[in-house]
Amino acid sequence: MKKNILITGGAGFIGCHVVQLFVQKYPEYHIINLDCLTYAGNLENLSEIENSKNYTFEKVNILDVEALTSVFEKHQITDVIHLAAESHVDRSITDPLAFVKTNIIGTVNLLNVAKSYWKNLENHLFYHVSTDEVYGSLDHGGFFTETTPYDPQSPYSASKAASDHFVRAYSNTYKLKTVITNCSNNYGPNQFPEKLIPLCINNIKNNRPLPVYGKGENIRDWLYVVDHARAIDMVFHNGKSGETYNIGGFNEWMNIDIVKLLCQKMDGKLGREKGTSEKLITYVKDRAGHDLRYAIDASKIQKELGWEPSLQFEEGISKTIEWYLENETWLDNVTSGNYQKYYQDHYGK
């Protein structure tokens, strides 16, 4: 059976890398990118593949069940890779309901439409992309494994945890074939400049303060976005139905050390005197309920599927900085909202 794969959230940061990989690597698949283009969704991310024969974009909100059903029927969807979500913790603190709507209700809508549309559930896969933040905060050492109990601490992670539970419930109750991956913090090209790394790159470039929450001692495990997309490809094709796989970079950093690394590298690239950008570091009020440490044990996906990160952090950070410096227009557009015009120009009304 020919695969017509629905990738939701394909205009976002991680989604665009997944869409690109699948469109380019699998010309025999039809890739349907479904995205409602929130502030975080940008079709410019897909300019390299937007004219490919095996690619279609559908501007649809996952809260719109009728439109979702039409997309399944029109493209005879065989599989789903679900990335569409509200993804920023700080926004979840000011507007939790937006996260309940998209991340929980949107996911359940998608599960319902898939379950009703697919006749023989054996032949189809619902792949749900999730986060390590569902496991809570590692305040006393250790690592998150696939059996770590869920303990979400922010409205964002609570909404992702709920969506993971629904996916497992549909697998158990209706025998939908599902797989879930929980990944650590991603960085790389095309990330909206509200997250730590692109925000700092943008602010260093513009000589603006670098807001470090609290003491800057919180720890995250960072993975280059293309390595996450490679992992999704492997799990989609070789993962076991009903299983969970953790994905991580084996790469823990304190926030303040990352900010300093960005300052040092950018001083070099911008021809600034050593130490110039570090003066921009500004300690600000801590995030409410700020999780101290995330760290993934990715040995299951490594052993069972042979995945491992391909890029060292310093190399990935250099590539990321270069991408942002070379793509000034992208940065200007996402920060000014001009990418809405891009959509109109390319797809009309």
Question: Which one of 133, 146, 252, 291 is the catalytic residue?
Answer: 133
Q: Write each residue from 144 to 183 as x if it is in contact with ligand NAD (CB under 6 A), else as -, in one continuous string.
A: ----------------x----------------------x
Contact 241, 177 (CB under 8 A): yes
Give the residue, chosen from 6, 11, 89, 161, that forms a contact with ligand TYD under the rule CB under 6 A.
89
- Residue 211 interacting with ligand TYD (CB under 6 A): yes
Contact 216, 280 (CB under 8 A): no
Q: Which does 218 bind (CB under 5 to 8 A by kind): ligand NAD, ligand TYD, none?
A: ligand TYD
- Rounded distance between C-alpha atoms, residue 65 and residue 55, angstroms: 22
- The residue type found at 292 is L
Contact 300, 239 (CB under 8 A): no
- Taking contact as CB under 6 A, which single stretch among the options 5-13, 23-31, 65-73, 334-342 is the one that binds ligand NAD? 5-13
Residue where the block lists tokens 């209700």: 105
- Rounded distance between C-alpha atoms, residue 85 and residue 88, angstroms: 9
Question: Which one of 132, 146, 221, 227 is the catalytic residue?
Answer: 132
Sequence-ordered alpha helix ranges (H) in the chain: 13-25, 65-75, 89-94, 96-99, 107-117, 155-174, 196-205, 225-238, 255-269, 299-305, 313-326, 328-336, 339-347
Please, which residues have CB within 8 angstroms of residue 140's CB and are 6 or more apart in sequence? none
- Residue 49 interacting with ligand NAD (CB under 6 A): no
- Residue 87 interacting with ligand NAD (CB under 6 A): yes
Instruction: Please confirm, yes or no, whether 156 is among the known catalytic residues.
Output: yes
Give the residue, chosen from 169, 199, 234, 254, that forms a contact with ligand TYD under the rule CB under 6 A.
199
- Residue placing its CB nearer to ligand NAD in the complex, 9 or 309: 9
Contact 34, 58 (CB under 8 A): yes
- Residue 137 interacting with ligand TYD (CB under 6 A): no
Q: Which does 14 bind (CB under 5 to 8 A by kind): ligand TYD, ligand NAD, none?
A: ligand NAD
Give the residue, chosen from 185, 190, 277, 320, that forms a contact with ligand TYD under the rule CB under 6 A.
185
Positions in the binding site for ligand TYD (CB under 6 A): 89, 185, 195-196, 199, 211-213, 218, 220, 255, 287
Catalytic residues: 132-133, 156
